[in-house]
Amino acid sequence: EDKVVQSPLSLVVHEGDTVTLNCSYEVTNFRSLLWYKQEKKAPTFLFMLTSSGIEKKSGRLSSILDKKELFSILNITATQTGDSAVYLCAVSGEYGNKLVFGAGTILRVKS
Amino acid sequence: DGGITQSPKYLFRKEGQNVTLSCEQNLNHDAMYWYRQDPGQGLRLIYYSQIVNDFQKGDIAEGYSVSREKKESFPLTVTSAQKNPTAFYLCASGAWGAQPQHFGDGTRLSIL
């Protein structure tokens, strides 16, 4: 059975801190790993990773995938209160259509 | 603007009642999905559809039904057989066989 495990489940940091969120997975015929940010309503897409070792970057956020060790990390530098959200990790396997989600990491950034 | 519209935002269900959640997209996506989100459990797949008039059960389909009569629309009915329907329901769409999926703003369903 395909599985995605995120850690930590929640964390609280102060503005300006750097955080690292973790995602490990077990999936048949891995196709891609995705990160989403959810701030109460619709999850919004952040990154899609398909190849090991290639960092994806968008502003203060970056992510990398290790297909050998079956995990990904999402880094947020110089955190702001607007980064407070649930961060979801998901993987797609065989056929590339369905996503399996982790439970998410709740991030709270205090000012 | 292109996007996914879910309605209503909040819905209350009485015991023994069926309720239908609406999902419409104008992104011209072939595939549409319904997820349920409970606290601490992430998103779980209820049903998905890759083309009109075709849909497949996901991991937690019991107590739910769907239809796909138009490419743009994928309504979800929560039947009285679903004994624990209180949750946040998210609809998504995407290109079939490819990612990412894009999400609507969700419907929060509660029991009266």
pLDDT surpasses 80 at B2: no
pLDDT surpasses 80 at B97: no
Position A95 confidence tier, pLDDT thresholds 50, 70, 90: low
Q: Is B39 on the interface with A (CB under 8 A)?
A: no
pLDDT surpasses 80 at A26: yes
Q: Residue A96: its pLDDT value, please?
A: 66
pLDDT surpasses 80 at B1: no
Averaged over B39-64, what is the pLDDT? 93
Q: Residue B15: its pLDDT value, please?
A: 84
Under an 8 A CB cutoff, do B42 and A102 touch?
Answer: yes
pLDDT surpasses 70 at A8: yes
pLDDT surpasses 90 at A80: yes
Give the gap in angstroms from C-alpha B92 to the nearest C-alpha of chain A: 9
- For residues B23 and B33, the answer to whether their CB atoms sit within 8 Å is no
Q: Residue A93: its pLDDT value, please?
A: 86
Under an 8 A CB cutoff, do B99 and A96 touch?
Answer: yes
Q: Residue B71: its pLDDT value, please?
A: 97
Under an 8 A CB cutoff, do B99 and A9 touch?
Answer: no
Q: Is B42 on the interface with A (CB under 8 A)?
A: yes
* Chain A residues close to B100, C-beta within 8 Å: 34, 45, 48
CA closest to A40 among chain B residues: B105
pLDDT surpasses 90 at B63: yes
> Cβ neighbours of residue A40 under 8 Å, at least 6 residues apart?
none
Give the gap in angstroms from C-alpha A101 to the nearest C-alpha of chain B: 6
Q: Residue B10: its pLDDT value, please?
A: 95
